[in-house]
Amino acid sequence: MEESDSLNNVLISNPLPDDNANQTLNNKENSNDCEPEPEESEDELERKHFQRIVNAFRSYKLHSLKRLYNSTKYISSLSPHQQDLLKGYRTHLDQVRVAIEHNYEIIKVIIKDVAHLFQNADHSEDIKVISSEVNMIDMEKVQSIFKQLYREWSVEGKDERDASFKPILDEIALRYPEDKVDKPNIQILVPGAGLGRLPYEIARRGYSCQGNEFSLFMLFASNFVLNKCQGVDIFKIYPWVHQYYNNLKSYDQVQMVRFPDVNPCDIPEKVDFSMAAGSYIEIYNNLDTWDCICTCFFIDTANNVIDYIDTTWNILKPGGYWINLGPLLYHHADMPNENSIEPSYEEIRSIILKYGFILLDIIQRV
């Protein structure tokens, strides 16, 4: 793990192109009467991927207001009587517009310095490329960042965090008690770290911790929170502003939350805390490196879950612990142009035992 005096530049290692890059390449067909297109280099794929994600963030306001415009335009086509009945609703849509515009101000701050996010890459030219083409999947991921900020970094998200993070934190404290270990020397890895709250909580408790994340959407936002937010509740967002239906009250859609609920800079001095960008199975290949690996809602994100198990077994130190929590929803199942296997819990348990893991504690619940 790289040492750092502060959380500046905690994001290390270049991310590889996302899963959609393979899907795009697989969809290209070469006819018999044309020359095959030359394969793009990994650097070029990475550059285009970076441009695409930045462009998705930049397009947030235009895309979101277009959805709002379509609603108001439809209302204007209704009869005067119905329009009169919807005066309150139109006022609500005005509030939605204000919330969207404010969210966009947060987005601008998030992507302000992403050109120099990674220590081994300069994307200053890439962020100048602007395109009007944004696919819906990318836009949904941008919109989901606000809900993720709510879950990981707001007071209101505490119950959700406690349901998933607390069992892991309790297990770490049990396996590495303060009176028996030098906590800063315990090296803990958190793959699929999202916006970094779980690795932050581990580091705040005195353990050295590295979070790992593959998604640039998450990496942009986590970099903003961990490196740029130096205070408590200094920003506000509207996480549910894109939830247009199934609302009990209009206010539910435009409810505001503040973040971060803690100061991300509050880490003990001797503790190493960092984030690494890239694929878990590709950037972690040093054997016997980590004392503990914590996976939270992560292992079902693999095309092949055995790859994750294999990596975890290889990089854990002898006598180390793997703490896992989460379902088996298998994110790639039934996706076009995606390979996927979906072993049951029973089958995964058998595979884990065959590797040589010893199951110490198992809790099953819905």
pLDDT tens profile 153-166: 999 999 999 999 99
DSSP H or E segment with residue 291: strand 290-296
193, pLDDT greater than 90: yes
Residue whose tokens read 């005067």:
80
What type of residue sits at position 312? T
Lowest mean pLDDT among 10-24, 177-191, 265-279: 10-24
- Separation CA 123–CA 46 (nearest Å): 10
pLDDT at residue 319, as a whole number: 97
Does 264 sit behind a cis peptide bond, omega within 30 degrees of 0 on the bond before it?
A: no
Q: What are phi and psi of 16, to 5 degrees?
A: -80, 160
167 band by pLDDT with thresholds 50, 70 and 90: very high
Residues 294, 323: Cα–Cα separation, whole Å: 5
Percent of the chain scoring above 70 in pLDDT = 85
- The mean predicted confidence, pLDDT, of the chain is 89
Distance CA 134, CA 209 (A): 35
Give the per-residue pLDDT at 338.
Answer: 94
Instruction: Look at residue 122 in the predicted model and tell me its pLDDT.
Output: 56
The pLDDT assigned to 157 comes to 99
Q: Taking a C-beta distance cutoff of 8 angstroms, is the pair 61, 104 a contact?
A: yes
**What was the pLDDT predicted at 116?**
78
- Per residue in 260-296, pLDDT (tens digit) is 999 999 999 999 999 999 999 999 999 999 999 999 9
> Looking at residues 169-173, what average pLDDT do you find?
98
Q: What is the DSSP string of 279-293?
A: -HHHH---SS-EEEE
